[in-house]
C-alpha cells in the first residue's frame, strides 16, 4: 500500500476504503508465504478487476427484475384495450399480482435450485422462464395467455435476486464486496427506469406494449448465454467436494497466488455435501435461528416501512403539484438511481450498519413530512412542498441503505451450509409482506387517512433503527468465513 509495506497484510481480502480499492491494488503483484506451521498465509489483496466481468453478467438478472417491475406501468392501458379487458379492475390487478405470485414461487425454490445445480445454472434457469413468459405476453391476443406469461416471468423474478445476492457475495473480494453488492440495486434501478422510458410511446403508438415485452427477451438471452463463460461460485464447488474445479475458478476470480489460502479458508466452513442435509426445520430453530430471524426481520421491515406504498402514491402527489405522471415517474427513478450509486461508494467506507440506520432514520423523517402535509396545521401553500419533498427524500433515503443493504447483508451473515436455503426463506417472507402491504395500503388509506397511515410507516422505520442497532453486526471488510465464525455459536 502507499506509504507502507505489505508485511502486515494477512487476510485473503484485507479491508480497504473505497478510495483505496480502485487505486492501491490495481497493478500490485500478489505474493504468498507459508507460516511456520505450513499454513498458507496471504500477502495483499486480489485484483478487483478479475471478478468484475462475472458480476456484470450476473446483475443482468437484477436489470430484468427492475424492468419487469415497471413494464406494465405505462403499457397497461393500451394492453387492456387490445386484449379486451379495459375497465376491469380485477383483470388489471391480475396482470400485476400474477407476476408477484410467480415471484413468490420462484423465491421459495431458489435456494434448492442454487444448491442443487449451482449458481451459474441457477441464473440460466432464471432467464428461461423470463424469455418464455415475455414472449408469450408479447405475442398473445388473450388475457389468459398474458397472465400465464406474467406467471412465468414472475418465477424468473423470484429466482434472480436470491441467486444474484449469493453469487456476488461469493465471488467478490471482501474489500469490495459491499461495492459489488450494490451493483444489484443499481441494475434494478436501471431496469425500472428503462422500462418507464421505453414505455412512454405506449399511450400513443398502437401495439407498442408488445415491443416492450419483446425487448426484455434480449437481456434474458444474453444472461443465459454469457453465464456459460462465467466462473462458478468456488464456495459452492467446495461444498460439493470439487476442490480441483474450485481452484481453477478461484484462479480466474482472484489470481493464482490467492488460491491455496482461499481454499484453506473455505474448507474450514464449507464441508463437502453437507449442503444436501440441510432441513427446513434447521432454519427455524437451534443454532441457525438467530441469523435467519435477523434476515427475515430486515426484509419484513424493508417492506413495512412503506416503500411500495410511497412509490404507488407518488404519482398522486406529483399530479397534485401539476407534474405529469411520466415526468414524476422519471424523477423518482433518477433519485432512486442516484441514491443507489451513492450507496455503492459508501458501502465499503461507512459499512452496512451505518447505512441502514441512516437510511431508516431518513425515511422516518420523510414520512414525518408526509404526516405534516396531511395535517390541518400546515398552510396550504406548504402542503405541496412537504408532500413532494417528503416523497423524494423518502426514495433517496431508501436507496441509500434499506434498498441495497438487506440482500447483501443476508448473503454475508448466513453460514455457507445454509446460505442459499436461508436466502430463499427470507426472500419468500419478503414477497409475502410485499403482497400484504400492497393489499392493505389502499383500504387503510381510505378508512384511516394518509396522516395515520404515514405515521404507522414512520413508526416501523423508527423500530427498524432500534432493531438494526441491537441485532445487526458490521460485515465490512471481513471474509465470509470470518463473519460465520463470529456469528455462529459453536454448539
* Residues 154-209: tens digit of each pLDDT: 999 999 988 999 999 899 988 888 899 899 999 999 999 999 889 888 888 888 99
In a domain, 175, yes or no: yes
Q: Which of 169, 200, 231 is the last residue of a domain?
A: 231
Do 66 and 190 lie in a common domain? Answer: yes
Q: Give the pLDDT score at 2.
A: 40
In a domain, 261, yes or no: no
More confident residue, 449 or 469: 469
Q: Give the pLDDT score at 380.
A: 74
Do 86 and 146 lie in a common domain? Answer: yes
Q: Which of 198, 231, 264 is the last residue of a domain?
A: 231
In a domain, 17, yes or no: no
More confident residue, 489 or 370: 370
In a domain, 236, yes or no: no
User: pLDDT at residue 327 above 90?
Assistant: no
Report the pLDDT averaged over residues 1-5: 39
Among 156-160, 278-282, 480-484, the range of highest mean pLDDT: 156-160
pLDDT for 426-439, tens place per residue? 888 888 888 888 77
* Sequence-separated contacts (24+) of 29-35 with Cβ below 8 Å: 30/255, 30/257, 30/258, 31/6, 31/257, 32/257, 32/258, 32/260, 32/261
Do 152 and 292 lie in a common domain? Answer: no
Do 148 and 284 lie in a common domain? Answer: no
Do 184 and 290 lie in a common domain? Answer: no
Do 90 and 173 lie in a common domain? Answer: yes
In a domain, 271, yes or no: no
In a domain, 329, yes or no: yes
Mean pLDDT of the chain: 83
Helices and strands, number each (H, E), in the chain: 21, 2
Of the given ranges (349-363, 395-409, 440-454), which has the lowest mean pLDDT? Answer: 440-454
CA dist., res. 220 & res. 124, Å (int): 9
| 485: number of Cβ within 10 Å | 14
Q: What is the CATH number of the domain that holds 309?
A: 1.20.1250.20
Do 301 and 386 lie in a common domain? Answer: yes
Q: Give the pLDDT score at 281.
A: 67
The residue range of the domain holding 226 is 50-231
Do 211 and 336 lie in a common domain? Answer: no
**pTM value surpassing 0.75:** yes
Of the given ranges (171-180, 279-288, 332-341, 399-408), which has the lowest mean pLDDT? Answer: 279-288
In a domain, 412, yes or no: yes
CB 283 within 8 Å of CB 422: yes
Question: In percent, how much of the chain has pLDDT > 90?
Answer: 38
Do 303 and 439 lie in a common domain? Answer: yes
Total domains in the chain come to 2
Sign of CA dihedral 343, 348, 353, 358: negative
Do 205 and 316 lie in a common domain? Answer: no
pLDDT band (50, 70, 90) for residue 25: very low
Alpha-carbon distances, residue 86 vs 91, 128, 143, 144, 342 (angstroms) = 8, 30, 11, 14, 41
| 462: number of Cβ within 10 Å | 17
Is 137 exposed, middle or buried, given 0-12, 13-18 or 19+ CB atoms closer than 10 A?
Answer: buried
Q: Which of 206, 231, 256 is the last residue of a domain?
A: 231
Do 333 and 441 lie in a common domain? Answer: yes
C-alpha cell recorded at residue 10: 494477512
In a domain, 41, yes or no: no
- β-pair partners for 42: 32
Do 300 and 152 lie in a common domain? Answer: no
Residue burial 421-448, b: 16+ Cβ < 10 Å; e: rest: bbbbbbbbbbbbbbbebbeebeebbeee
Among 415, 263, 256, 391, residue whose Cα is nearest residue 332: 391
Amino acid at each position: 500500500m502507499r506509504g507502507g509495506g505489505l508485511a502486515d497484510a494477512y487476510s485473503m481480502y484485507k479491508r480497504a476504503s473505497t478510495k483505496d480499492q480502485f487505486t492501491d491494488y490495481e497493478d500490485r503483484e500478489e505474493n504468498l508465504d507459508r507460516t511456520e506451521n505450513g499454513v498458507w498465509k496471504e500477502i495483499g489483496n486480489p485484483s478487483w478487476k478479475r471478478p468484475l466481468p462475472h458480476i456484470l453478467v450476473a446483475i443482468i438478472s437484477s436489470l430484468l427484475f427492475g424492468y419487469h417491475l415497471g413494464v406494465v406501468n405505462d403499457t397497461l392501458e393500451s394492453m387492456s384495450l387490445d386484449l379486451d379487458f379495459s375497465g376491469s379492475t380485477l383483470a388489471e390487478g391480475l396482470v400485476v399480482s400474477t407476476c408477484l405470485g410467480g415471484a413468490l414461487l420462484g423465491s421459495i425454490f431458489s435456494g434448492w435450485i442454487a444448491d442443487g445445480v449451482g449458481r451459474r445454472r441457477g441464473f440460466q434457469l432464471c432467464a428461461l422462464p423470463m424469455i418464455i413468459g415475455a414472449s408469450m405476453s408479447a405475442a398473445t391476443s388473450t388475457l389468459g395467455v398474458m397472465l400465464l406469461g406474467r406467471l412465468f416471468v414472475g418465477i424468473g423474478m423470484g429466482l434472480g435476486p436470491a441467486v444474484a445476492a449469493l453469487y456476488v457475495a461469493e465471488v467478490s473480494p471482501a474489500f469490495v464486496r459491499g461495492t459489488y453488492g450494490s451493483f444489484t440495486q443499481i441494475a434494478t434501478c436501471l431496469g425500472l427506469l428503462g422500462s418507464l422510458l421505453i414505455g412512454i410511446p405506449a399511450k400513443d403508438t398502437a401495439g407498442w406494449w408488445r415491443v416492450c415485452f419483446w425487448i426484455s427477451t434480449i437481456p434474458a438471452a444474453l444472461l443465459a448465454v454469457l453465464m456459460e463463460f462465467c466462473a462458478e461460485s468456488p464456495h459452492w464447488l467446495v461444498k460439493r467436494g470439487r476442490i480441483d474445479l474450485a481452484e481453477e475458478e478461484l484462479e480466474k476470480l482472484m489470481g493464482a497466488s490467492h488460491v491455496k489460502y482461499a481454499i484453506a479458508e473455505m474448507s474450514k466452513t464449507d464441508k463437502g455435501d453437507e449442503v444436501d442435509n440441510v432441513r427446513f426445520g434447521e432454519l427455524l430453530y437451534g443454532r441457525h435461528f438467530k441469523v435467519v430471524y435477523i434476515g427475515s426481520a430486515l426484509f419484513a421491515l424493508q417492506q413495512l416501512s412503506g416503500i411500495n406504498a410511497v412509490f404507488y402514491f407518488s404519482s398522486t402527489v406529483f399530479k397534485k403539484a401539476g407534474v405529469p405522471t411520466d415526468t414524476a415517474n422519471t424523477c423518482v427513478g433518477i433519485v432512486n438511481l442516484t441514491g443507489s450509486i451513492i450507496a455503492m461508494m459508501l458501502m465499503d467506507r461507512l459499512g452496512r450498519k451505518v447505512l441502514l440506520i441512516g437510511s431508516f432514520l431518513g425515511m422516518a423523517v420523510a414520512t414525518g413530512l408526509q404526516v405534516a402535509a396531511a395535517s390541518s396545521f400546515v398552510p396550504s401553500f406548504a402542503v405541496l412542498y412537504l408532500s413532494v419533498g417528503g416523497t423524494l427524500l423518502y426514495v433517496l433515503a431508501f436507496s441509500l441503505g434499506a434498498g441495497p443493504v438487506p440482500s447483501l447483508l443476508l448473503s454475508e451473515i448466513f453460514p455457507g451450509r445454509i446460505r442459499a436455503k436461508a436466502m430463499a426463506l427470507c426472500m419468500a417472507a419478503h414477497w409475502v409482506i410485499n403482497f400484504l402491504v400492497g393489499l392493505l395500503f389502499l383500504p387503510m388509506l381510505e378508512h384511516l387517512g394518509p396522516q395515520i397511515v404515514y405515521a404507522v410507516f414512520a413508526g416501523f422505520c423508527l423500530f427498524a433503527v432500534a432493531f438494526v442497532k441491537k441485532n445487526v453486526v458490521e460485515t465490512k471488510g471481513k471474509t465470509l468465513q470470518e463473519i460465520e465464525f463470529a456469528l455462529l455459536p459453536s454448539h
